Amino acid sequence: MEHVEEIERTLISEEQLRIRIKELARQISNDFSGETVILVGLLKGSVVFLSDLAREITVNCHMDFMSVTSYGNDTESSGEVRFLKDLDEDINGKNVIIVEDIIDTGYTLREVVKVLGARSPKNIRICTLLNKVSRRLVNIPIHYNGFDVPDEFVIGFGLDYAQKYRNLKYIGVLKITEK
Ligand code: IMP
Ligand code: MG
Please report whether residue 5 resides in a domain.
no
Please report whether residue 24 resides in a domain.
yes
Domain limits for position 76:
15-149
CATH number at residue 55: 3.40.50.2020
Dist. CA 94 → ligand 1 center (Å)? 27
Please report whether residue 156 resides in a domain.
no
| Mean pLDDT across 38-53 | 98
| Mean pLDDT across 10-38 | 98
| Mean pLDDT across 122-129 | 98
* Residue-wise pLDDT tens digits, 68-122: 987 554 555 666 788 999 999 999 999 999 999 999 999 999 999 999 999 999 9
**What does the pLDDT read at residue 46?**
98
**What does the pLDDT read at residue 178?**
87
Ligand 1: which residues within 6 Å by Cβ?
45, 70-71, 77, 100-108, 132, 153-155, 159
Please report whether residue 158 resides in a domain.
no
Residues near 170 by beta carbon (within 8 Å), at least 6 away in sequence? 10, 11, 12, 13, 14, 17, 156, 157
Beta strands 144-148 and 123-131, pairing class: parallel
Tell me if 173 sits within 8 A of 5, measured CB to CB: no
The more confident residue out of 70 and 156 is: 156
Please report whether residue 106 resides in a domain.
yes
Please report whether residue 176 resides in a domain.
no
Please report whether residue 179 resides in a domain.
no
Tell me the DSSP string of 160-173.
-BTTBSTT-SSEEE
| Mean pLDDT across 36-43 | 98
Instruction: Give the chain's domain count.
Output: 1
Instruction: Kindly tell me if the per-residue pLDDT of 162 is higher than 90.
Output: yes
Catalytic sites, residue numbers: 104
Please report whether residue 101 resides in a domain.
yes
Atom of ligand 1 nearest to the CA of 135: 3
